[in-house]
Structure 1
Amino acid sequence: MTLAAVVTGNALSRTTLAAPAAARAAAAAAAAACPMPFLRNFMLTEATEAATLVQQLQKALKSAAGKMAGGSFSVQLTSGTYATSTSIVVPENTCLQVTGTGTEAVALDGSLAQPQAGPLFVINAGAKLIVEGVTLRGGHSKASGGAIRVDDDESIGGGSGGEVHLVNVAFEDNFSEVSGGALFLGANSVARVRGGSFINNEAAGLDGDFGGGAIFQTEDSVAYVDGVLFVNNRANKGSGVMVDFHAHSHISNCMFSRHTASGHSAD
């Protein structure tokens, strides 16, 4: 397996995904809008263990966090399953783009690590994650966001949470003990989801209140979801998507099937 990370880009900005035919171009445009305080290239070869692959990426991101202006990373994943032994944390003012060759060919899998380490990705306030053509599987969070947790803006004084752009991404078999079985959006965060699927994800809602088997949104977060398949997600409340605390959700051209909510509405 090969992973290449390149530090590149210009200025951090929010990018709106356009029509389905333009999704790939829009994702590329979003990546090109990342900051560039320094330039660094590194390549990991097929001989590199997947755990080492993730560790080296995390090390590069921590290096970016030490720079006031952050940085931009582009990661190319070839066909195969990559075991993630720790959460990949994207720090403030940093942009990470992860591109695979398709959800049937490339997967990041948290279930292969023992014990399971948490969400596959944690996006800090003021950071951006772009993922295209990858399956995110087997994330297990003891809090919220089984596969991706987008943090709120409390750590930077309000006004800007994290941001995530997802193009043709499959979320499968992810689990959170609280809310957002696959994806959790904290206060003032933004998610743009185009294509892909949420299948067999679960939010246990162990605190007895929160849910969102596939997606959970909290206060003033915004989600744009288009052309996505939701199947067999489970939660105490809102087994498909749960929108809470004045959040805003724009859902179009989506299909929901076989959801289970033990408390309230299944979708």
Structure 2
Amino acid sequence: MNATGRPLLRAGLIGAATGMRSQWGPAAVAWSGGRVPASSSAQPGFWDRPWVRGATLAAATAEFVADKSSRIPSRLTFAGLTPRLALAAACAVVLARRHHVSARTAVTAAIGASSACASAVAGTRWRRANRNHVGAAAAEDVFAAVLAWSACTPRLTRPAPSQPSQRRTRRLPAEREAKGRPMEYEVRAEYAEVAPAQSDHPRVETWHMTKADETEALCGQSLDPAAKTLPGTAWGTSEVDPFCRVCGAQYLRQGV
């Protein structure tokens, strides 16, 4: 899938999950973000704050329990549907900005809200068509959880290798490992302008972590081969702020 379609797909997935479980979308967004290292001067975003994560988890758990009751009002009422649309649009925008810097906010918000509306209607019809209320709710729980996870996973950002230059650069780290040398990483810039590396004063939008000599970041973002790079040891310092939180989380999982 191309770079234009991926943020729209994320918006649709997180919107569908939020339409079925209004609090699960925000919880998935909050808990899938990367943590800012203690040595970094960058401030955590709103969704990365511990109290926000705790609040979204508590709300999602409460909804999980309450949704099994047949006394809960229909989600298609004004009070039930409006929050779902608003939360779905907000979650879609957050994911788009987190994984796709160039995504259009209005479009992703509209797709998230539309998807939430559609899934809310479909979920209501599903529940009414099944006599086993608890069983139908449990099946919907599983489906909503899969949608939320799929929307937030960094794997959705990783494009399939298609350019010969990308395939050539990926051989170098593999050759190092074959020779018994440890994997090396470097920090690579992502610029705000189109083809900025040749400009006199390029403005860095975000710093990403890549494997040495590669142009694909750990978060899946494709970067300019001519972009400025720094050693991997610069991660966590003020020199590479702002830094991609998804790359930071993936870098920590490498056990470096």
Fold-level similarity (TM above 0.5): no
Compute the TM-score of the two structures, normalised by the length of structure 1: 0.21
Higher relative contact order (CA closer than 8 Å, sequence separation 6+): 2
Compute the TM-score of the two structures, normalised by the length of structure 2: 0.22
Question: Larger strand proportion, structure 1 or 2?
Answer: 1
